[in-house]
A = this chain, B = another copy of it.
Amino acid sequence: MTLSKAQDEVDEWANQYKVPYWTPHEILARLTEEVGELAREINHTHGPKKKKTPTEGSTIKEEMGDVLFTLICLANSQKIDLDECFQKAMAKCYGRDKNRFEKK
């Protein structure tokens, strides 16, 4: 699955609806919600917070999928190419920030 095809699949899904994409602020609020659910799972799995019921169930994996999906919605709504975003983030890693951490 390429990033570009993932963006297309989300777009096809969104275009079934009267309002394909919410406003940037609304999608951002949704992203905040999904990151919050991921945070809860990380505290459950790697931290101190007991699950209310053991079968409550959603997992880190599922929450990461929801974060990615919401990020793609935001990108699509703004006609942003995530592939390009990723290339720039990697370039920054190898450029500006390359001596930020201790190498092997």
Q: Which of B2, B18, B69, B87 contacts A102 (CB 8 A)?
A: B18
- On whether the beta carbons of B17 and A29 are closer than 8 Å, the reply is no
Copies per assembly: 4
Instruction: Give the size of the chain A interface in residues (CB under 8 angstroms).
Output: 70
CA distance A4 to B3 in the complex (A): 10
Hey, what's the 0/1 contact readout for A30-55 against B, CB within 8 Å counting as 1? Answer: 11111111111011011111100000
- On whether the beta carbons of B61 and A47 are closer than 8 Å, the reply is no
Smallest distance from the beta carbon of A9 to chain B beta carbons, Å? 6
| Partner-B contacts on A (CB < 8 A) | 1-4, 6, 9-10, 13, 15-19, 22-26, 28-40, 42-43, 45-50, 60-62, 64-69, 71, 74-75, 78, 80, 82-90, 92-94, 100-104
